[in-house]
Amino acid sequence: MRIGNYVIDKDSPVFIIAELSANHNGSLDTALETVRAAKRAGADCIKLQTYTADTITIDSRNDDFLIKGTIWEGKNLHDLYKEAYTPWEWHSEIIKVAREEGLLCFSSPFDPTSVEFLESLDVPAYKIASFEITDIPLIELVASKGKPVIISTGIATEEDIALALDACRRQGNDQIVLLKCTSSYPAPIEEANMAMVKDFVSKFDVISGLSDHTMGATVPVVATCFGAKIIEKHFILDRSIGGPDASFSMNEIEFSEMVRAVREAEKAIGVVDYNLTEKQAKGKDFSRSLYIVEDIKAGDVLTENNVRSIRPGFGMHPKHYHDILGRKITGDLPKGSRLSFNDIE
């Protein structure tokens, strides 16, 4: 699978997404500087969300539309999204600056009009947000565009995931990434369940990854070790600027540290290889081998007192120890001599 000029597969480096979301705080200048900061922090991509308050909900004061049990407690849905949305007229400028910085840029659409708008901007991929995983008509429309579809699973049951995947595949689109996500803001680390990253691959035959709302780099590193190929984190210039998503977003320093940790984790994972590198082979100098540990003369018998398995590793392999005990030596051997088969009758 390709997203722009990035190959995403089981052997590729982790593709790291900085989620802008509402972290522009109503300022285009802040949005553009956030793009530049994401590049400095090591992101591969900046991601937007494309909606208006009226495309994602309706302006109703019914109790159903009052948010309960989250960091947005007591807010009306329409009011929250009116505050948080990214103006559509900003999108082209944000994408332009992202390209200048060498970043990919795509978005999460939330209704058909946003899909068609993003198509007009030629985005290279689409993201389905966790709360939209049950919107099968939306997923079908997105998948019909023939571009990679990245799906967060924050509220999804196994059946929800299967329905979403079927919706993509009915459109002939198998370019699918499932992101393990915990839809809690911020998310408790004990609810991360990174074992799911592996399970997504085996159960659903997709590329897997992480959309993370925990604080810090621990969960992204664990996800990397479990095979995640995409990691997404909310990104902000400075949490002090405020905004709906500020409290669970990483600043530039924190994001940079996460990227560093993920890249180091990738190096540490390596490959299955029983061959030793030159440096590892050199380390065998410090392994055990058989040495003469007291002066002996030609014809003397090798015993537990005059031969031992010790460091360094230049002598005979210790596996021969019991075989050579009781045998005679061919010549004088001072203490500290390597033992070899040529020394034994």
The DSSP symbol for 7 reads E
Q: What is the spatial distance between Cα 209 and Cα 220, in angstroms, rounded to a whole number?
A: 9
pLDDT score for 184: 78
Residues 6+ apart with CB under 8 A from 275: none
Query: ω before 312 within 30° of 0 (cis)?
Result: yes
Q: So what's the pLDDT on residue 192?
A: 94
The mean pLDDT values, 10 residues at a time, for the chain of 345 residues are 95 97 96 98 98 97 93 93 96 98 98 98 97 97 98 95 98 98 87 96 97 94 98 96 91 98 96 89 93 97 97 96 97 97 95
Among 204, 207, 157, which Cα is nearest to 179's? 207
Q: Which of 34, 9, 4, 2 is nearest to 209 (CA)?
A: 9
Say how many C-beta atoms besides its own lie within 10 A of residue 22's C-beta.
Answer: 22
> What does each C-alpha distance from 85 to 49, 106, 325, 334 come to in angstroms?
7, 15, 81, 83
Whole-angstrom distance, CA of residue 91 vs CA of residue 250? 22
Q: pLDDT value at position 70?
A: 86
Task: List pLDDT tens digits, range 303-319.
Answer: 999 999 999 999 999 99
Please report the domains of the chain, with CATH numbers, ordered by start residue: 2-269 (3.20.20.70), 278-343 (3.90.1210.10)
Counting Cα atoms < 13 Å in the Cβ hemisphere of 126 gives 31
Q: Hey, what are 83's tokens?
A: 């505050």
High-pLDDT (> 70) share of the chain, %: 100
Question: What are the pLDDT digits (tens) for 233-243?
Answer: 999 999 999 99
The answer to whether 146 and 125 are in contact (CB under 8 A) is no
